[in-house]
Structure 1
Amino acid sequence: MKSTARIIAGLALTGLLGACSGHKPVTATAGRPAALKPRIQPPLQAQSDRKMYYLPPPPGQWTVQDTLQVYGERVKDKLGYYFAEAEVSYPPKEVVFIALKQEKKLELWARDNGNFQLIRDYYILAASGEAGPKLRQGDRQVPEGVYRIAGLNPNSHYHLSIKLNYPNEFDLLHAWQERRANPGSDIFIHGKAASVGCLAMGDEAIEELFVLAAQVGAENVKVVIAPHDPRVYPLQVDSEDLPPWTPELYSLISREILALSSGGKSVKTGAF
């Protein structure tokens, strides 16, 4: 077992260039489009003025806190309506994003002290690949599974980005069993409308998702990615090309989504 753990840990370090990493470095190196600069940048005429205005750092040097300063109130105003409709406090205690590849939709679920409630949904503007899990670097597949947030990048080439912990333990275990040395890495939810292996949400949507994730705390956010909505029809393996462990994966995904949805109520949603 110790040998297996070392092999799996080694696999986690492979895949130096991920599906989107060439466009969205996790470090703060990318420039921010001029159109996304904050609208309020008055001159500081006195020391007291510094308490009235926020001046962000130069492009490429933003922190998560800078992003909250610029977009936080705007996101709160927009999402506040949906949270009020769902009778969930803002910011909530826990959040789940459900991404449905076939439907090109991402659902936002949240809760405070009660059951998870559907807050709203968003269109996924771009997601490459087809039904089935991601297996290797360069296969252009959006992964399928249950993930956590590995990091928030406020200096993404794609406006803002949320990094997922792909490959997770499930992915690494099956990669090791099948001797796949490079299962891939660097999977993001990000802005803009183009992507290879990631979920491109557009700039307005990623501002909401990024700010919410930062306010709730990455450890309190779960991301479930499914080939299609199992609440409409079951997740089934309909291709011999899929790996033999796919039914196990689809059972896990289905349980997560169905358990989440069983306690929630339908609310007015507003996909972009």
Structure 2
Amino acid sequence: MVPVSKDLLPIGRFARLCRLSVKQLRHYDDLGLLAPAWTDPASGYRYYRPAQARDALMIGLLRAMDVPLPVVARVLSGDERAELKAARDRIEADVARRQRGLRLLDRVLAEGLPEHEVSLVREPARRVFTAREPATPATIPDATGACVARLLPRMSPESLLIGLFPLDMEEEFDVRVTVEAADGDDLLPGGAFASAVHVGPYEEIPLTVHGVLAWFGDHGHTPAGPVREVYLSDPATTPPERLETRVQIRVEDSQ
């Protein structure tokens, strides 16, 4: 039995020291994240050593930044730098996604939902090389960039670069980018497509995708994925507001 002494703080005092609630400390104990130094076997009352405050403060700080509890546990186990860097990268990606969302909202607030001229076109089948990268909705730009980088050795100034994105966004999916080549090892199917040209930054392409999908609703057609983005401009030499991208969605019920 460990006697209560000045070296042990009752849970209430320790909670105030660490800016946590008693309920939180009990929860972290139950999870095995921060066990008390001693628990009174008769009353079940928890006591902590002052030296445990550093770990408790770290837990509170990381949780306030929405760092998941499993990551917090690994930080406390000693792999601090790698885990904190990974948590930082996730937060940065989330901030970037939210900033893109804010810019889209600002445009909608200023201009309303944009109107797009949608036409029905027939596309031939194409021989292509394909790069694919796992992604989430927040990491689409990075995944697309990684695909393009892998295709650079196969590209020429005349190359047709096409991004392929799922029609129904799930938590995880594959982003694909293709480049047309006579000796390509993949076949990109042809068919009838609803098509519209997006002018502006890539991050605003979802507005045009929604415009094309609205066309499907207006005309009673059924869309079939993936969504195609045909990149018509060179982002290295074209200002973002002047980038042109053809958005195409296959018409499933068209002959």
TM category (shorter chain) comes to under 0.3
Asked which structure has the greater CA Rg, the reply is 2
Give the structure-1-normalised TM-score.
Answer: 0.24
**Larger relative CO (CA 8 A, sep 6+): 1 or 2?**
1
TM-score by length of 2: 0.25
Answer 1 or 2: which has greater strand percent. Answer: 2
More helix by share: 2
